[in-house]
Amino acid sequence: MTLRAVLFDVDGTLADTEALGHRPAYNRAFRKLGLQMRWGPKLYRRLLKLPGGKERLKHYIEHYRPDLGAEQAEVERDLDAWVAKVHELKSKYFKRRMRNGRVPLRAGIARIMREARQQNLQLAIVTNASLKTLKPVLKYCMGPELAAEIEVIASGEEVAHKKPAPDLYRLAMRRLGVRPAECVALEDSEMGFRAATAAGVPTVITVNSDTLEQDFAGAALVVSSLGEPGAPARALKGELGVLPWVTVETLRRVNATAGAVARAA
């Protein structure tokens, strides 16, 4: 098999949306509602083990039992409705941060997308986020020109089971008309890595401050970022090759190595 498609996670992979976008937006929503609770970096890393924003909110309320003040009666009446309200408010503040340029693309993302399209590779986004949450990333972070290069989007509301289940990757591959052996996934988290691996897709991990300590045993390549001229990447596991950043040839090598291992098995 030859490489035909590159499948991109979003939060933490395309941009540091968790640290720079979602967490501050949650805390802004909490303040707006007069709540005393705040999500710091350490707590948020634990919450990121849950597969989506609404799931994190619900888990936090049920397991951490924060003082909700005037919101307590509403929570007791209908927790799911309250979670939806807070999440909607958070989404408004997240969109505002994206619009204001607070969340840039990570190093190498725009470059690798353009290089891949120049070599006729297909691009897809595979994310636990809803399409509504994704739209500000496409519009303000990526920009319309780069976003137009994405051929397929598989978003969290489209499947019964989000990552770490393989459903989203399988959905994206069906839409692209490709097989796992013809793909490489770009992920930043253990949850995403497990999802891609369960779908049979070889994966490059590009870590960030929230995922640096997670378990990526079995990953072909783990890097500090995709890197680019002026902002080189560091290989934490595996080898980058001649250049100090991930190239399309790096992705082809990861794909070919995974294929060789699969055939030998």
Judge whether 188 counts as a catalytic residue: no
- Which pair of tokens denotes residue 6? 């590159």
Specify the DSSP class assigned to residue 69: G
Cβ burial of 213 (10 Å; 0-12, 13-18, 19+) is exposed
Q: Of 11, 16, 188, 210, which is the active-site residue?
A: 11
Judge whether 167 counts as a catalytic residue: no
Classified as helix, coil or strand, 122 is strand
State phi, psi for 94 to the nearest 5 degrees. -60, -45
Query: Cis ω on the peptide bond leading into residue 232 (within 30° of 0)?
Result: no
Cα–Cα distance measured from residue 147 to residue 113, given in angstroms and rounded to the nearest whole number: 10
Nearest CA to 92 among 35, 132, 33, 47? 132
State phi, psi for 157 to the nearest 5 degrees. -75, -5
CA dihedral 246, 196, 220, 206 (to 10 degrees): 40
Structural Rg of the chain based on CA atoms: 19
Cα–Cα distance measured from residue 261 to residue 66, given in angstroms and rounded to the nearest whole number: 49
Per DSSP, which regions of 54-211 are E strands?
122-126, 152-154, 183-187, 203-206
Residues serving a catalytic function are 9, 11
